[in-house]
Structure 1
């Protein structure tokens, strides 16, 4: 039997996200949040000064580069990233890191753009298959009554 090689670009169709069982401490996202913020900033085209300035403009609150540094530093656990800045942060960095972090913690997956459209297409195709099956069953029932 030939060995099947998995295409690394193809998503696993059966990788179904599952929510963690809520036990004390397992939903503390502090370290994961700091990592997600750091990664988004690392891959952002703008530097932290520009990100802070753009976030300040979008939120109407003064946000500095030093605040971003504190939110991402493991040693600054006393500085927590406010959820009210999440949308501005993602908009400025072009990331969905915080949305994905929360979704993963709750056992969900976020689909954006073409991925969302492909998922909807799959749902519509499933509905079509179910309707085709139901139509065939009705025809068989009606023919059996003749």
Structure 2
């Protein structure tokens, strides 16, 4: 009697069925957008690069120097120095600005500040209340219409 192989098999999906299939090559390159956003956010924050480096070091537990900050914002350093992704939450908290995270997001996606998230949640509640109101009206119409 021959023993059958019961190992798992990975099936290949055609590329056309993947959610990113319609995106052009390079369309999610975010390097320049992140670089520009960091420069803009730092400039409007009123904070010094020294303060940002010190606070980033404290919050992440890594040694971040003012030279790191300068490299991440220098026009000549685009393509050479990347802000590590795991620093984005700390930078967003320090700078109190979501533009840096927003710059990382693909087009059509968004990041919300805690205040904006509350407004968004309220909007969801209002939409649900309106749906329920429509449903209640439909049911009352069915009840009142069928009883006549």
TM range (shorter): 0.7 to 0.9
Deviation at 1:62, TM superposition (A): 1.1
Partner residue in 2 for 1:101: 103
Correspondence list, 1:1-146, <5 A: 22-76=23-77, 77-103=79-105, 105-146=106-147
Runs ≥4 in structure 1, deviation > 3 angstroms?
Answer: none
Match of 2:5 in 1: none
Q: Root-mean-square deviation (CA), in Å?
A: 2.0
TM-score normalised by the chain length of structure 2: 0.74
In structure 2, relative to structure 1, the CA distance for the partners of 1:132 and 1:101 (3 Å cut) is: same
- Residues 141 and 118 (structure 1), Cα distance of their counterparts in 2 relative to 1, 3 Å cut: same
* Deviation sequence 1:39-87 (CA, Å, 0-9, x none): 1111223210111111111111111111111112232221111112112
Contiguous gaps of at least 5 residues in structure 2 = 1-19
| Higher CA-based Rg | 2
C-alpha contact (below 8 Å) 1:31/1:74 kept by paired residues: no
Where does the alignment leave 5 or more consecutive residues of structure 1 unmatched? 1-18
User: How many residues get paired?
Assistant: 126
TM-score by length of 1: 0.75
1:83-139 C-alpha deviation (Å, 9 max, x unpaired)? 121122222222222222133x24122332443333322222222222122112112
Q: 1 CA distance for matches of 2:51 and 2:130?
A: 51
